[in-house]
Each structure stands twice: as structure tokens, then as C-alpha cells.
Amino acid sequence: MNMSDRTQPTIYPETQFYWEGAKQGKLLLNACTPCGNKPFFPPRPFCPHCGSREVTVMQASGRGALHSFVISHLPAPGYEPPFTVAVVMLEEGVKMLTNIMNCPPDPDHLELDMPLELTFETRGDLKIPQFQPAKGGAA
């Protein structure tokens, strides 16, 4: 299956910065000023912790660890099973739902807390932030 057949996400004004950053190879997060620049994900115009609209944008390191995963054996639009859907704990303390690429969708190759690094999947004119096993082995 061709990766370009995968559906493209809908871009809203509140998420435009995120997708523009991804096109440049950056993972951008919102951070709340009143909460001490605490980052959060997914992108939104208000803090999920205190409700403040005083949010800024910060660049994430692109490093994280595998927090949880499921190997899907069911077909999904643009995905040929099996494939890995994962929750990654970013170095910044934010959890992100994503896919694991460049790693077999097999529990023998996926270990909780394994170090991961940012990679991008091209879909049309967008780049989709995804994760893969870290090359150096450290998150």
C-alpha cells in the first residue's frame, strides 16, 4: 500500500502552527504561560490544566519513550495490517498518540520505555510526525 493513499489530517486555524512546523521537520507543542510554560498536546488555543488562553509555542526535542502500544490487525484507511499504534511519552512530559515506523509490528520488537525519536511520514504536501526506535538507543 502506498503511504500517499493515507488520509490527510484536517488542518484548523488552531493547529496550523503544528503542521507548518512539521513541514519544516519540527515537532511543535503548545505551552501554558500561567502554568510555568507547561507543554500540552494535542494543539488547542487554551490550557487543558487551567483553562488559560495565554499559550505559546515551543519546539519539542523529538525524543521520547514508548508508553503504550497496540498492534492493529484490522484494516484502516491507508493502513495495511498489522501496524503499530502507540502512545509516546515525550521528553517534555507530554503523551502523544502516534504510529511507530521502521520497526516490525511485533511485541518482540516493541518494549515499553524503549527510546524513540521523531521521524516524519510524507502524505501529499504534509509531513506527519511519527516515531521510530532511537538510533543511539537513548531517549
| Full domain range(s) for residue 137 | 61-139
List, for residues 35-93, the tens digit of each pLDDT value.
999 999 999 999 999 999 999 999 999 999 999 999 999 988 888 999 999 999 999 99
DSSP state of 24: T
| In contact, 100 and 79? CB cutoff 8 Å | no
User: What is the model's pLDDT at position 56?
Assistant: 97
User: What is the model's pLDDT at position 17?
Assistant: 97
On whether residue 2 sits in a domain, the answer given is: no
Same domain, 49 and 97: no
Same domain, 90 and 53: no
Same domain, 33 and 81: no
Q: How confident is the model at residue 119 (pLDDT cuts 50, 70, 90)?
A: very high
Rounded CA separation 44/120 (Å): 21
Same domain, 71 and 117: yes
pTM summary value: 0.90
**CATH number for the domain harbouring residue 139:** 2.40.50
Q: In what order do the strands lie in the sheet with 63-72?
A: 95-99, 83-90, 63-72, 115-123, 126-133
Measure the CA angle with vertex 126, ends 122 and 132; round to 5°: 45
Same domain, 25 and 77: no
Q: In the numeric block, which cell numbers belong to residue 131?
A: 516515531
Residues 6+ apart with CB under 8 A from 52: 32, 33, 34, 35, 46
Rounded CA separation 18/34 (Å): 21
Q: How many structural domains is the chain composed of?
A: 2
List, for residues 11-23, the tens digit of each pLDDT value.
999 999 999 999 9
Q: In the numeric block, which cell numbers belong to residue 43?
A: 494543539
Same domain, 95 and 139: yes
